[in-house]
Structure 1
Amino acid sequence: MTTLSTTGQSWRLAALGFAMLLPSAGTSIANVALPTLATAFGAGSQDVQWVVIAYLLATTTLIVAAGRLGDMLGRRRVLLLGVAVFTSASVAAMLAPSLWLLVLARAVQGLGASAMMALAVAAIGDLMPRERAGAAMGMLGSVSAIGTALGPSLGGALIAVWGWQAVFAFLATLGAVTLGLGLLVLPRDGETAGPRIGLDIPGIGTLAIALGAYALATTVKTDLQTSALLAAVSLAAFAAFVLIERAAAAPLVQFGELRNGELAAGLVSIGLVSVIMMSTLVVGPFYLSHSLALDPLATGLIMSVGPAVAAMAGVPAGRLVDRIGARRVALIGLASVAIGAMLMALLPSGAGIPGYLASLSAITAGYALFQSANNTSVMTSAAGGRRGAISGLLGLARNLGLITGASVMGAVFAGASQLPGGAEAGMRATFLVATTIAIGAIFVTLWGQRPATA
């Protein structure tokens, strides 16, 4: 894509916003359908979990390759292809006659989602002037949070009225709208300079094996021996990936880029902060229901405040980035996350819902500030021919943080909940760890911001 005049920028941002809304809604809207799917297909809870796992695996393992493909073939072209794949897979999911065909359709949806997640962010560097990039990144962050927040409630309403097929019919309709808008308003890709270089297929394959084995080891309930085997496969595949990339003519990941402290710090920090964000989603419901004795409806309403705060903070966060700079906003955001996590760990249950909401709001508002600043800093400094790949690395780091948070922080909570105090003890332990992680992210970010001559 090429940078054009400001005419039509609002429509182009709308198209990119829809391209971020689809994958985020696709992640959360299907979760609420799992009990209905278990009944419809006569399947167990572990079987229907693959409707979520297949989407997560495909998105995580393919996002870097999707970004690199966009750099090679044109980011508009591959972005719209991703929308088309997602939309077609949504239709296939709606018509699926069996659970495992539905799981296959969800994996294909994840393929399309990986292209949208990588290239919508990368396109900001193509379409927006540097001084407005922060606001645009903030808008994408808000839209992503809105999709995550609305997914469960919207999915529940659709299922109640029309059945589980309505969830995928909605995604197909939204995909068709996104595709039509993108075709109309996104400027065509410019000609790529230099010879066309082939895609790094061996690198893509080994990275997919490494990430897939890691995701399976941390998301699927298996015995210790199987989990250890999956972890060993992941480590071996990642080692092979590093060797392949060092010898490749056109590597998927250029490890020399990671010598850029700002990029390396940005990737590590977004992964760490994503661990904390997932902790609020995994641990929160148990604390609210067990310690504060809230019913499912009240728990759901309280849980929706976090994504709502992130959605409302996204655009102001982006504007603040444009005004005072990404580096300052990143540190402000991380400080807010650390304070919120510390409050979660120290506030007694007597603080009740107000205390929990204050802590949660500090974490999610800080996350919105940090994400806008971090994405802007990384993407505006990336070389034009590598923006897709770099955006894919950002998405990969975020997804790995979410997967790790669900597994590791869930285990911390479960273990500490066996101590006197139950769920409240689990909450304290989890967010003491989260506070430590947030402080670590602050130091990593400061390291990345040090002067180049230091």
Structure 2
Amino acid sequence: MSEARDARRVSLLLGLLFGLAGMGSSSAAIALPAVADEFGASIGVAAWTISGYVLMLAVATPIYGRVSDLVGVRIPLLVGVGLMTLGALGATVATSFELLLVARLLQGAGAAAVPTLGVTLISARYDGRVRSGALGRLAAVAAAVSCVGPLLGGAVEHVLDWRAVMALPICGLLVLPLIWQAVAGDGSRARLDLLGAALVAATSAGLVMIVQSPSAGRLVGLIGTVLCLLGAPLVARRVRHHPHGFLPATVIRNPTVIRSAVVGATVPASWFALLIGVPAALVGHGWEPWRVGLLLLPSAGVALLMPKVAAHLLERHGGTRVLAMAAMTSSVSLVVGALGTAQTAPIAVGVAVMLTTASFGFGQPAMITAVGDAVHDDVRGAALGIATLLFLVGGSIGSAVVAGLGEPLGIPGSLLVLALLPLVALVTVIPGLGRAAKASELSEDR
């Protein structure tokens, strides 16, 4: 089999697996009103089933990335899909909101294996245009499957109930045997820095808890503040004293990795914000969940167009500039989404989701390409894990802002607040844009 054909098959399967993991949020978002009714909770509290899932998706991601550097991709991928399946099964039989939340946290911890290990595998297996195309295809298929999630979730809830919706990611087990041969390979067999991993996870969790505190309560905000205040300096100290530990110093001190990850984080922030905000707003105005899903379906078509678009943009403009384009698109999508939900305008809402789907489709490959090219092979998994950590923490922040500020400001107001995040993040990428332009001019002169 040619490299291009192999890359197409592997990226399609990994994208499908990634999409099924993402469906744990997109389909579950449709079920939030039913979950709230079942357990007598508000939508803001019920949204913890999404925020908690995305939180664990974020904090466990760098662990899988670093483990893959040490032992290869196969074992952590098997563990991750197993945990994702176990959590999905637990959510279907939960008898209380607390048990449901625990199951969703477990599900998110398992699903975290897919995005990092997928991009790590593709980055190590292919080069050049083949790699760019494979990364774009992975992101596109993942986004397309996630976009189908609301429609599938709404239909399943209509025919069965919300518990069946929570079980949809179990289908990932069917994909695993098809990808099994491609994930063979060994790592360095070095030891994992467990303390460093725990400190990073605790600090990340604290950040999301602070954002979620307006709806979750002062205690959650206090715990999050303590975790951040204690965790951040301890993480910095750990990196200084263990430069080859969980967070390799060569990765943390690499400005391309950090800048790309920070700007890239704004893309899933808009994605998850709209996935929660749009269904909540429209269902609140009397829409059936399946109608909401049908409205979001065209976004799947947009996602499938993105691989060629992403490859073309990356080849022509480079990762930094494409990231800036993605951030701007994300900001616009949130503004359009805010106007659409405020006026209950279906066309505006659909356009908003299509815009954020497009930004995801070319923003994630741009981030992965920039990070993967900026580090050495022996820390690529760690670098991609850290970048994906910030990427998915952005998703946690997006869902947390809508859930936390949705009640005091309304969903349109929370989306407008979040629209400022990409603009702020762009400030961090302006120096990189200047250097990228100069490098491009020098290359052309030669």
Residue 25 of structure 1 and its aligned partner are, at CA, apart by: 0.8
Counterpart residue type for residue 292 of structure 2:
G
For the residues of structure 2 that align with 1:351 and 1:158, how far apart are their CA atoms? 24
Cα gap change, 1:80 to 1:11, in 2 (>3 Å): farther
TM-score, normalised on structure 1? 0.80
* 8 Å contact kept, 1:273–1:441: no
Q: Name the counterpart of 1:420.
A: none
What root-mean-square deviation, in Å, do the aligned CA atoms of Structure 1 and Structure 2 show? 4.0
Q: Name the counterpart of 1:106.
A: 104
* Aligned 1:164-203 pairs, distance under 5 A: 164-172=162-170, 174-183=171-180, 185-190=181-186, 192=187, 196-203=189-196
Q: Name the counterpart of 1:79.
A: 77
* Aligned 1:28-107 pairs, distance under 5 A: 28-37=26-35, 42-45=39-42, 48-96=46-94, 99-107=97-105
Unaligned runs of at least 5 residues, structure 2: none
Q: Does 1:312 align with 2:307?
A: no
Cα gap change, 1:203 to 1:343, in 2 (>3 Å): same
Q: Percent identity of the aligned residues? A: 22
Counterpart residue type for residue 133 of structure 1:
R
425, 430, 441: which one pairs with 1:443? 430
Residue 266 of structure 1 and its aligned partner are, at CA, apart by: 0.4
* 8 Å contact kept, 1:288–1:299: no
For the residues of structure 1 that align with 2:220 and 2:379, how far apart are their CA atoms? 37
Counterpart residue type for residue 184 of structure 2:
R
Q: Does 1:390 align with 2:383?
A: yes
Larger Rg: 1
TM-score, normalised on structure 2? 0.81
Cα gap change, 1:175 to 1:446, in 2 (>3 Å): same
Counterpart residue type for residue 424 of structure 2:
I
Counterpart residue type for residue 31 of structure 2:
A
Cα gap change, 1:337 to 1:175, in 2 (>3 Å): closer
For the residues of structure 1 that align with 2:401 and 2:96, how far apart are their CA atoms? 33
**3-state SS, counterpart of residue 245 of structure 2:** coil
368, 377, 380: which one pairs with 1:375? 368
* Aligned 1:226-237 pairs, distance under 5 A: 226-237=220-231
* 8 Å contact kept, 2:21–2:172: no
Residue 73 of structure 1 and its aligned partner are, at CA, apart by: 0.7
Deviations 1:1-29 (A, max 9, x none): xx994564433223312321221011222
Across the two proteins, how many residue pairs are aligned to each other? 437
Cα gap change, 1:24 to 1:355, in 2 (>3 Å): closer
**3-state SS, counterpart of residue 112 of structure 2:** helix
**3-state SS, counterpart of residue 265 of structure 2:** helix
Counterpart residue type for residue 311 of structure 1:
A
Unaligned runs of at least 5 residues, structure 1: 418-422
Residue 314 of structure 1 and its aligned partner are, at CA, apart by: 2.3
For the residues of structure 1 that align with 2:259 and 2:358, how far apart are their CA atoms? 21
Q: Name the counterpart of 1:116.
A: 114
Deviations 1:52-95 (A, max 9, x none): 34423322221111110111110233223312332233334444
For the residues of structure 2 that align with 1:105 and 1:358, how far apart are their CA atoms? 33
Counterpart residue type for residue 395 of structure 1:
T
Cα gap change, 1:313 to 1:329, in 2 (>3 Å): farther
* Aligned 1:126-165 pairs, distance under 5 A: 126-165=124-163
For the residues of structure 2 that align with 1:450 and 1:392, how far apart are their CA atoms? 28
Deviations 1:14-52 (A, max 9, x none): 331232122101122223334444566x55347755543
Cα gap change, 1:60 to 1:332, in 2 (>3 Å): closer
Counterpart residue type for residue 374 of structure 1:
M
Residue 325 of structure 1 and its aligned partner are, at CA, apart by: 4.9
Q: Name the counterpart of 1:300.
A: 292
